[in-house]
Amino acid sequence: MGASILIKSLYFYAVKIHEKYMLRCIQLAKNGLGTTYPNPLVGSLIVHENKIIGEGWHYKSGFPHAEVNAITSVSDVGLLKESTIYVSLEPCSHFGKTPPCADLIIAKGIKKVVIGSTDPNPKVAGRGIKKLMDAGCDVIVGVLDVECNELNKRFFTFHHKKRPYIFLKWAETSDGFIAPKNENREEIKPVWITNEFSRQLVHKMRAEEQAILVGTNTVLQDNPSLTVRDWGGENPLRLVIDRNLKIPEDFSVMDGQAKTLVFTEKIASEKENLEFLKIDFSEDIPTQICEALFQRNIQSVIIEGGAKTLQTFIDSNLWDEALVFKSTVSFGEGLSAPALKGKLISQKKIKNDSLQIFINQNH
């Protein structure tokens, strides 16, 4: 009886230790959000006798992977053969822009490997795990797999569903409007609903995702630039739905400052950083857009508006998360916010605003 309790206690201790180090891998991996596309977010640790002696994460596509950075950060390489490597995603087993990480782990003599998620990429998909096991490594898979899958929800959605991970984003007033009544607006001037801190957070979100999409009316009414200005990072790919090419050439989305793709039914001459793609507006528009983005290796997109565009994606059930900023501003009348049915998973205050995050339970 005593031996049985001891074995269970040791097992529980080992599980908790693995989870502790995997959480650190996840923390490290998040440092690469917005810079690793089309690669996943990955963090890695080297642990020797319950002490972290090396750690790393994947910075950018084409650069060394997390496992490489963790291994090269170890000052005493003689300890590697007695260490455990933790990695949030299955080590790659193929030659891409960099050599296989599974081969490096084997070459360094690391015999204990703890993995969070299995890689959904068909080029890997269990091959890295098999290669490690065939080389005699003691491999544990699935530690905090739910958290590791969440970390790479964009990457997993792209490979499993053949489309980008879709964020809906809008700001609404306390009485449920996303824009004021607009009958006689003589000049293009955005009407701010949220405070400056919420707007800065939106720019941070833009820096973290690959693309951002708006409809024709949003561009004509607000003339947005859809770039990252209040946060460091790369500008997302700008996506504009403009069926009849109503947007004037001197508008911000046409300025060539960031790569822009216009979905239209017209034929237009392409310019630097500006591409036009014909789609069939009598068919399902969100599906066609998702297919086009999948072909371009786009793993995530923010749908920023307007109400018609957002509702079209909602009605097509093509969304994964909704980011709804609610303010204390009141319009009394105006353009109503989209009608959304989702599960509220978090809510936080941003000074006098609040950010509500919903997920699509139908997926």
Tell me the three state secondary structure of residue 358.
Answer: strand
How far apart, in whole angstroms, are the C-alpha atoms of residue 281 and residue 343? 31
Measured CA angle at 70 (ends 68, 71), to 5 deg: 65
Q: Of 55, 67, 90, 304, which one is the catalytic site residue? A: 67
Rg of the chain in Å (alpha carbons): 24
Strand partners, 323: 169, 357
Alpha-helix runs per DSSP H in 152-284 = 153-161, 196-208, 216-222
| Residue 295, burial from CB neighbour count under 10 angstroms (0-12, 13-18, 19+) | exposed
CA dihedral sign, ordered 35, 30, 45, 85: negative
Nearest to 128 by CA among 157, 154, 106: 106
CB 154 within 8 A of CB 211: no
**Is 187 tagged catalytic?**
no
Instruction: Write the DSSP string, 88-127.
Output: EE----S-SSS--HHHHHHHTT--EEEEEE---STTTTTH
A 10 A CB-CB count for 239 gives: 26
* 3-state SS class at 60: coil
Catalytic residues, which ones? Answer: 67
